[in-house]
Structure 1
Amino acid sequence: MNRPQGPEQGLRAVVGSALCVAATWASLLALGGLVVGRRWFVVACVAVLLVGAAAAAARALTRVWWAPTAVGAAVAAVGVALRYGAPPGRPQFLPDPGAFRRAWALAREGVAVVNDSFVPMPDVRPGEMLVVVGAIGVLLLVDLAVLGLRVPAVAGLALLALWVPAIVLGFPAGAAPVFWTGVVYLALLAFGAAPQHAHAGRRRRIATTGAGAGLLATVALVAGPPLMDVPGWASVRLPQLGAAPVGPLELSDQLDLRESLGARSAQEVLRYRVTDPTAGPDEAAEGGADDTGPVPTASASGPAARAVDARLVGPFRAFTLASFDGRTWDRVEPEELREWDRSLLLSSDPEVAGTVPDAAAGTLAEVDVVVGTLGERRLPVSTHPRTVQVPGVWGWDAERDEVVGEDATDADLAYSMLVQVPELTADELRAAPVGRPRDADLYTAVPETEHREDVERVVAEITAEAQTPYAQAMALQGWFRSATNFAYDTRVPPARTSDAVWDFLESRRGYCVQFATAMTVMARMLDIPARVGVGFLPGERAEDGTYVVTGRLAHAWPELYFEGQGWVRFEPTPASQTGAPPAWADPFTGVQAPSTIPEEFAGGRATPGPAAGATAPAAPAPATQDEGVPWQAVALTVALGVLVLGGAATLLVMSRRGRRALATTPEHAWSTLRRELARLDVEWSDATTPRGALHDVQRTLVLRTESTLDGAALTAFERLVAAVEGSRYAPAPPAVDPAELDGWVATVRGRVAELVGDRPPAGAGARSARGRS
C-alpha cells in the first residue's frame, strides 16, 4: 500500500504507541460488568503493554508499515503459548508444538465456559485467555490504523469490539469506561490531526479550539434543560431499568424475558398519603408520622382508625399485558376508552364497576397521589376497586381496567383515589370457579414452543394434589416462592432454547418478570385466564407519614381471573424482594409467630390485615448522633456473638466428624460427593443439573488425566444421579438404602482420587465447571 507520508516515526511514534495502549486499556473497562474479579484485567493490561512495546521497538527499526503489526502478533503468539500452553506444574521458556496445542485446547474450553456461564462469569483461566487474546487483537488493529496506515478515526471500530459483548448482553460497565475511552479516542484523533511540525499554524489551532469549546459550552447550557424535559428522553423501561436518568421515567409495555435487570433508578416517581375517610378530625390529627407502631385499619364493623396502612391499597398498577410469544410480552391497545363518573368505582369485576363506594363491602382508604419524575400515559392506580379524580383528559379501558390519558403524566400532577379494599379471603376463592373474561381465548393462549410439553409436565407435577383453581394457583405460587427452588437474580443467563419459560425453570434464577411470566403461562396451561400486571410496589414510608415510590420499586406480577371476583393478584416473586403476598394468597394468614421472634426472622411477613398487599421494607429511622448505647446492650451483644461463634464452631466440628454418617438421603449423598470431589479440584456450579455435573466431571478428568469414569464408578455415579433426580422431581421419590448411598459416594470418590492422584490441575480442566455461575 503506497502512502506518501509513510508510517509514524521517532518521538511521535512513541507517543502514538502509548495512546494506542491507553485506548485499549480504557476499552477493556467495558468488560467489567461481564467478568468478576480483577486478575483478568491486570493480566490483559500487562499483555497489551508488552505487545505494544514490541510493536514500538519494531517501528523504530523499520519503515515498513505492516512490520510492527507482524512483530507484535508474533510476540503475542509466543507469549500466549508460554502462559496458557505450558505443561501443568512447570514453567516453559520456549514454545513447542505441544504448547500451542494446549493453548488451543484451553481456548476451546474458554469458549465453552463463556457459552455455559451466567453473567457475570467468574475470573477463570480459560476465560482470561480469551480476554487477553481479544485485547491484544484490538491493540494491534488500533496500532495499525493510527501509526501504520495513519487513519486514526478507523481505530474507533476496533475499540468498539470490546464494547459489543456488554452492549449485546445488556450489562454496561458504567460511565467511567465510556468517559476514558472517549477521552483517549479523542486524543488519538488529535494526534492524527496534529501536523508533523508542532509550531505550524499554532495561532490558528488555538483560535479554532477556543471557538469550538465555547460553542459546545453554549449549546450545552442552552439546549440541555429543554432536552431533559422532553418526554421519554431518559425513559426507564422494564426490564432494563436505567441508572439515575435525568428525565421522566416510563414503564416499558414490551417485556423481553431474555433481558437482565439493569441498575434501577432511585428517582421518586410517586408520593402519596393514605388516610381513613371515616375517621373524625381529631383522630386524623392524632395519626401521622409519629405513629411507628402497627397501623390499624378501618372496617365497617369496627371503630374508625387514625390512619390506613399503605399495604391495604396494594401495588399501583399502570397496565397489563396479555399477548406472549414465548419470549416477549406485547401490549394490546384498547379498542375504545370510556368516560366515567368520577364518583363511582372502577373495577375489573363487572358487578362492582360503576357502583358507589360502600364501607360495608370492604375497607375504604383515601389515597392522595402527587406524581414525581413519571412520564406515563397509563395512570398508576390501585389494583382494588377505586374512584379516580384526576385533572385532564383521561379515559377508562374497561376490558383491562386501566386509566389512559391523551398525554403523559408530568411532575406535580395530583390525583386522588377512594379505594374500596375487599375483605377477600382464601375461603371465598376456594369456592370460586374460574371466570371467563371478555377475550378469554387471549388470556388462556399458550405459545407453541419446543418445550411446551415439558412445562406442562412440570405444571401437572406441582398441581397434582390441587383440587380447585385456587389451590392450583397457590401451589404454583408456593413453588416459585420457595427459596429451595428458585433464587432472585437480576442477571438473566443466556438463552439456551427458544422457550424463555423453560430456560427460567432450568436455570431457577430470575427477577419479577420471569416469576410473573412463568406463573401466568403455567396458569393458562390449567385453563385459568391469566395476565401480567406492571406497575410499582407500595413504597417506603417517609418521616412525614407519606409513602415514597421510586423507580427501584417497578414490578410485575400475575393476575388470575375468578368468577365473581374479577382479576385477582398473586405474588410468586420471593418475599426478599416483594414482602408478603396479599392476604388471600398468603398461606400464613392468621398464623402468629411467637412474640420472641422478630418480624424479619418470621419469613419476612408482617402481621396481615384484612387485605395486606406486598410492600418493600420500610427504611430504618436515622439514629441521632447524641444517642448513647447502654453498656448492657454492648455486653449482651458480645455475649451473643461469643455464643454464636462457639455454636458455629461446635457444629462445624460435629459436621466434619459425622460427614460419612449424614448421607441418609440422596441430597445428602450428593452434597457429600460434591464436597469430596471439590477437595480434588473437580467441581461444578450450583446451576448445573445432576446429569450436567456428571458430564462436567468426565470432561474435567479427560482434560487432566486423559481418562474417564467407567465400570463400577460410572455405574455408581449414574445411580446417584438417578436417585437425586427422583428425590427432586418424582411425585413419590423412591427410597434408597443409606448404605447404598455411602457406597456410591465412596466408589466415585475413590476412582476420581485414583485417576487424579497428586497431579496439579491443568488450567483447562480443573476450573472448567467453575465457569458456570
Structure 2
Amino acid sequence: MSGGAALRRGWRSPAATALTAVATCTALGALSGLLAGGAWALHAVLAVAGAALVVGGTRSLTRSTWLPSAVGLVVSAYALLAWYATPPGGNPLVVGPGTVEHAGTLVQQAAQLIETSVVPMAVWPPVEMILVAAAVLVFLAADLLAVGCGMPALTGIAYVAVWTPAVVLGFPGSTWALAATGFCYLLLLALAQPPVARDRSRRRAGVVLAGAAGLVAVTLAAGPVVAAVPAWSWVDLPDVGTGAVGPVRLADDLDLRDSLRDQSSQVVLTYTVDRLDDDAEGPAATAGLVGPLRSFTLRDFDGRSWQREPGEDLAEWDPQRLLASDPALVGAEPDPARGTLTAVDVRVGALREQRLPISTFPRTVAIDGPWTYDAVRDEVVSRNRTDPGGEYEMVVEVPELAPDLLRASAGDVPEEAQAYLDVPETDHTDDLRALAAEITAGATTAYDQALALQTYFRDGTQFRYDTSVDSGDSDDAVWDFLESRRGYCVQFATSMTVLARTLGIPARLGVGFLPGELGTDRTYRVTGADAHAWPELYFPGTGWVRFEPTPAVQTGPPPSWSNPFNAATPTTAPTTSAPQVTSNPSTAPTTAPAPDSQGGLPGVVGDPRNRGPLIAVGALLVAAAAAAWFVLRRRRRAPDRLAPEVAWDRLRDRLRRAGVTWSDAHTPRQAVAAVRSQVVERRGRPLGRDADAALVALATALERERYAPDPEAYDPAELQGWVAAVLTDVSTRAPGDARGAAGGRGTAGGRGAAGGRGAAGGRGAGPDAAAGPLPTEA
C-alpha cells in the first residue's frame, strides 16, 4: 500500500488530519516575532480545529479526494465571514452580499494597518481576520496534500509558507514552534508507511518516535552551540544600516537634493525608561512613549536646503524644573496631573554634538557642564560637545494628546510662531498651495488638515522610502520630490512642513534620533543609523506637536494622536474605508475609522451583542459534527477493522511461525509463488485447492488495494475466511480437500469458484482461474 493509500484508510485518515491541524497550529509560532500578543492565536487554533472536524467528518462519508477539502473551505469561509465581517446591526447567521462587501473593506483596512505598522505589530480585528483565514487555508492545503492526494511529504510546503514572512523580514519566531512543527511532520511521514505486522509495527513506531524526539532534542541542544562556534565570525555577511564609523554629528544644513550619506553603525546613545508612578494607571514606560530624542529644530527653508538661523538668548535653568516648547510650562514643576511622569537616564556614546538630544515633550534636564537653554528653539546647547561616557537625566511629562484636544485647538498664532509660516517663492509655489488645498479638502480644522497631509505621504503605494535622490529639474526640491515620489525622512518631513505652511499652519523641522532598539538588559540602543527628521506643527493652546509622514518601513506607526485609526473626523459619519491615494498627487486621502469603545474598529466585528448567537450556534455545530463523526466511526469500526493489507500481514505473521516466509522485496504474486514452493518443499505436496484459491484471492485484493485507482471494499469476514483457509491447510498434513471446486460454498469463506464470486476475487472464473495469473502490477 502506498503512503497516500495508507492515510486514506481506517484510523490513519482522522489521525493524519489531526496531525496536520496540530502542525498548522504550532507553525503559527513562526509569527511570534512579528506580532504582538493577543487572542488571535487562540482564535486561529479554534478555527483550524473546527475546520479539521468538518474535513474529517466529511471524509468519513466519502472517498472523494477533493470533496472534504471543498466542504471545509465553504464552511470555514461562512463561519469567518459571519464572525468577522457581519455589518453593524446585521444578522451574523445570514451571510449575504453585504457581508462579503464588508469583508472586502476589512481586507483593505488590514492592508493599510500592515503597511503602517512596525514589528511587533498590534493585531487589530481586520488583521486577525486575515491571520485566521490564512491559518485555515494552510491547514486545508496540508490536509489535501497529505490525505486527499496521498502526498504527505509535500505538506512541508504549506508549513514553510507560514515561516517565510519571519525569515524574509528577519524576525525569527519561536524555536519550540519550529521543533513541534517538525516533529508533527515526521510523525505524519511515519503514519503514511504501509501497515506491517503488529510486532514489527510496534518496533517501527518506537523507532520513529525515538528518532523524531532525538532529532528535535539534538536540534534544540546543538543550535546555541553551533551559533557560538567562532568560525561563524569568519563569514562576511551584509549588515544593513552600517557604514561610516567614528564620532557622529547631526548636520544642520540639510539639502533635499543630496542623497543620504552612509549611516554610522556606532552607538550614539543608550538609555533606560522608567515610570515614576508605577502604581498609577497609564501607559507602560517605553521609548515609544517618550518618543524620539530631538537635538534641534530648523525654521528657514529656501526651496532647496535648510539653514540654521542665528542663535537666540541663552540662559541657565533649574534642573528640577521643566523645559518645554510651551512658554507657559517653562520653569514649572513636573505634575502627574498633566501627564505621565517618566524618568529617562541617558549615557552618551559616539556622539559629538553641541545640541543635547532631549524629548519633544516637557522635561527636566540634569547634566553637568556648561550647558544653556534656548527657550525660542527649545534646545539645550553648549559651546563644547558631548563626550563619550557622559550622562544626563530627564523627567519627561508625557501629556495626553488626544485627537479631540488637538482638533479643538483654536486661537491666534502668536508672534513668535509667525516666522514659521514662510514659504519660499519658486516656480511651483502655487502648485504646492493647490496640492495642499486638494489633499485637505473637507478637513475643517488645522488638525484634520495635518492628519490628511500625513496620511497622504505615508501611503506606501504612492511613495517609496529611498536614500538615493535625483537632482531634480526645477528650482523647488519639494516639487521634485512629489514628482519622483521617493526619498528619505528629510524629503518627507520637509514636504509636509512646506504644505502645512501653505495652509496657514506654523511648521518647523525637528532633527534628532529615533527611539532605537531595546536590548536584553532593558536598555535602549541608538545608533547613527537612527538619525531622523520630522515636522512639528504649532497648535494654539497646545504648542508644537510632532507628526510622522515618513513611511512605516522606516519609522513605524505614527504617534498615537496622529494615527488615523484613532482620529475619525467627527464632522462626517465614520467610514470603514481605508485611506485611498490615487496616482494623481493632488488627490486627497480619506480618513480611516477610529477604534470603538471596545478597542476595535467600528463595523469590524459587528456589535459584540451579536456574538452570543454566533458562539451558541458554533458550539452546537461543533458538538453535532463531533457526535456524527463518533457515530460514523462506531458504525464503520467493524468493517474497517480488517482490510486486505492487514489480513495479508496477519497471514504472513502466522505463516512465519510455521516456517513459511518471504522477503519485503517480494510482490504479492511473488509471495504466492514462494508460499506454494515452500509448502511443497516442507510437506511434499502442494496447497489444497481451496487454500490456493484463498491465497490468490487475498493477494489479488492486496494488489487492488495498493495499486487500483479506486479499490473496491472487501467484506472482513471474507478476508478472514481466506486467511483461515490458508492457515488451516498449511497446518494440517491430511490430503487436500477439493470441496468447493464444483460449486457450493468453499472453505475459503467466499462463494464457490465456479459460480458467483470466485475465491480469487473474480466473477465466475471457473476452477482453473482460481490459481491463474494475478493482475498486472501497477
User: TM-score, normalised to structure 1's length?
Assistant: 0.42
User: TM-score, normalised to structure 2's length?
Assistant: 0.42
Higher Rg: 2
